[in-house]
Amino acid sequence: MLKLGITGGIGSGKTTVCQFFEILGVPVYYSDQRAKDLMHSDEVLMAQIRQAFGRDIYSEDGILNRKALAAVVFADPGKLAALNGMVHPAVFRDFDRWAAARKEVPYVLKEAAILFESGSYRDCDYTILVKAPRELRIRRVVGRDGITEEEVVRRMDAQMSDEDKEARADFVVLNDEAQLLIPQVLLLHERLLQESRKR
Ligand code: ATP
């Protein structure tokens, strides 16, 4: 079984592309969502977070105070790095377990916004970048999340550039609403099925 990492900047459409792969029967691991879930289910991770951020960061019934945690890590880059240093290994462990339970499929996808930044790509056989023009990405996120254009630009500029991601990616899907998306996904799917047969 091949492990593929799929990434893209904010509003590029990586989740949309993953949904098409899911329709084709490809299992998709959504790293950001799983990371959030693991903060409530992974005992090792929860113990590390309690130790680093204080017992009160979780309520009596184990609910994480996300607002308090966000306030601490946004104010202190060292604390953010510490949190990432706990969450990323937990996601690696969880992805490995998840993938091991799906050995019979030709390939799986790991969707991650920070695939290259987190080092997560090292665990993948190939990587896919979903790309879209900046203006279109801004319009999509403003429409989807109802946040200001300035806020989208701020988040966009905090991410690794598309140029840097493209230099590292094995495959690119162009989601610019001019090139048809589904044929690109089908072509890539065929290619990945072929690759998986070579293994
Ligand atoms: P984020 O990193 O912010 O989670 P993302 O890369 O996962 O974003 P999506 O959530 O897939 O992006 O797409 C952003 C928005 O743009 C969504 O509302 C989605 O429905 C829309 N969108 C994505 N691709 C297209 C497309 N080809 N045509 C029309 N709308 C699209």
The reply to whether ligand 1 has any atom less than 6 angstroms from the CB of 175 is yes
What order do you get walking across the sheet with 126-131 strand by strand? 28-30, 107-111, 2-8, 126-131, 171-174
C-alpha 22 – ligand 1 centre gap (Å): 15
Instruction: State the residue for tokens 């990587």.
Output: 127
pLDDT of 162 > 90? The answer is yes
pTM of the model: 0.94
Q: Going by C-beta distance under 8 Å and a sequence separation of 6 or more, which residues neighbour residue 122?
A: none
Task: Single out the residue of 136, 107, 121, 116 nearest to residue 18, CA to CA.
Answer: 107
Look at residue 199 in the predicted model and tell me its pLDDT.
83
* Residue range 177-189, pLDDT digits in tens: 999 999 999 999 9
Instruction: Supply the DSSP string of 11-32, one letter for each residue.
Output: TS-HHHHHHHHHHTT--EEEHH
The reply to whether ligand 1 has any atom less than 6 angstroms from the CB of 5 is no
Domains of the chain (ranges; CATH) run 1-27+107-199 (3.40.50.300), 33-101 (no CATH)
* Residue range 13-56, pLDDT digits in tens: 999 999 999 999 999 999 999 999 999 999 999 999 999 999 99
Q: Report the nearest-CA residue for atom 1 of ligand 1.
A: 10
* Residue range 71-91, pLDDT digits in tens: 999 999 999 999 999 999 999
Structure tokens at 96: 């490995």
Look at residue 142 in the predicted model and tell me its pLDDT.
96
C-alpha 182 – ligand 1 centre gap (Å): 14
